[in-house]
Amino acid sequence: MAHKFHPTVLREYDIRGIIDETLGPDDARAIGRGFATLLREAGGHKVAVGYDGRVSSPMLEHALVEGLTASGCDVVRVGMGPTPMLYYAEASAEDVHGGIQITGSHNPANYNGFKMVFQGRPFFGADIQLLGDLAARGAWGNGNGSVEEHEILDEYVERLLQGLAGIDPGALSGIKVGWDAGNGAAGPALEKLAARLPGEHHLLFTEVDGNFPNHHPDPTVESNLADLKALVAEKQLDFGVAFDGDGDRIGAIDGEGRVIWGDQLLMIYAEDVLKSHPGATVIADVKASRALFDRVAECGGRPLMWKTGHSLIKSKMKEVSSPLAGEMSGHVFFADSYYGFDDALYAGVRLLAASARLGKSVTQLRGEMPAMLNTPELRFQVDESRKFAAIGEIAQRIAESDAVADTTDGVRVTTNDGWWLLRASNTQDVLVARAESDSEEGLARLLAQIDEQLALSGLERGESVGH
């Protein structure tokens, strides 16, 4: 029997929709059937399945497992937990060939979705469209897979602790850290992890609640860090770490309450990783600060600017054997002594490790970074049919001028004032703009250039829209 997905649900990097409006159990069942059909064709047969703390997640998990087994795949249910715990279940077991996490990530409580791994690689883009094609034709394989349950949380936490390998626990005995799970799926893992870490740890909102009663679990929005800032100030902590709803994106503040943005965290991690991997390639997305790329080069690494999107970055890491990559959005990928997937809990452990190995507090490391003036991510509505065409027009005009541009993902133009970026979102009908300079006047000139290019394509920046 064929199935048709709502046209907004099959995205570039994942599958996402609004419960009972655009996404429901029939969709989950169809995803399971399609994924299992493709995995069986590729020679695999066992899939790990996990889910986040949203109210709708158990229902979708039940239907997904039905779909997977009906098309002949065996299922290992790892239960409720952060997305990286599911990634770990897939990466660490030789007899597991795929993984699906049910998660709405940092989206509002009425959203949910699916993130997938296929034989050790990200499952995205054309793969996801293929699920839609198989469903439309009802071209699924048939079978009768088995289901087993695997309590993996303790094993996962044990693996996270290896991020401190080689560090004398005494070097961290006096450290004091705040952690904010935001009522997301990372809470139970965080409780177990913090109990095992050296130093003093203060935890916020570890109780999983899919209604997110305290604040929205998106650490890239500074207002969501208010509780963590208050905790760090009140307890005089060394730094604070926050997670998104499914635990694959990290946010951080230093002991003075300053935000350490995704590219600034990567500067700290790069300095640490490049000591043991001299000359290695470190990847960051096109939204990252010039200061990061400069710092990677200063530390003896090869900076590589790449496309935004966790699936695209993971694929590029494998291609160039990069031990470290990250995005402005807080996805950080370690492949030096970890698996190369985005794990915010592991990134939190590695922040402790970097501070110890570099012999500097996180506040000192943040304070030594060059002061840059940059805009937040400016997002504005552009018709879906127009967004890529507009970027193409802008790229063409820039190419015909004498400006220095990088077109890896959108258009990033470097001038004497700094740089500006315009790119089309792969997941929404928006254009994304960002600019960075070392002076207010320079930043104003860069924003004027963005506005000029938009006007030439019949667009305007207008009001910035949310995620």
- Catalytic positions are 105
Q: Please, are residues 111 and 14 in contact by the beta-carbon 8 Å criterion? A: no
Alpha helices, H only, 303-434: 310-320, 344-358, 362-367, 384-400
Q: Please, are residues 47 and 97 in contact by the beta-carbon 8 Å criterion? A: yes
Distance (Å, whole) CA 437 – CA 423: 19
What is the amino acid identity at position 108? P
Distance (Å, whole) CA 167 – CA 93: 27
Pairing mode, if any, of strands 250-254 and 239-243? Answer: antiparallel
CA angle 93, 98, 100 (to 5 degrees): 115
Q: Please, are residues 275 and 301 in contact by the beta-carbon 8 Å criterion? A: no
Distance (Å, whole) CA 244 – CA 20: 23
**Both structure tokens of 8:** 């907004």
- Cβ contacts of residue 262 below 8 Å, gap of 6+? 220, 250, 288, 326, 327, 328, 329, 330, 331, 332
Pairing mode, if any, of strands 259-260 and 250-254? Answer: antiparallel
Burial of residue 60 (CB within 10 Å: 0-12, 13-18, 19+) is buried
**Token pair 């439309």 is at which residue?**
136
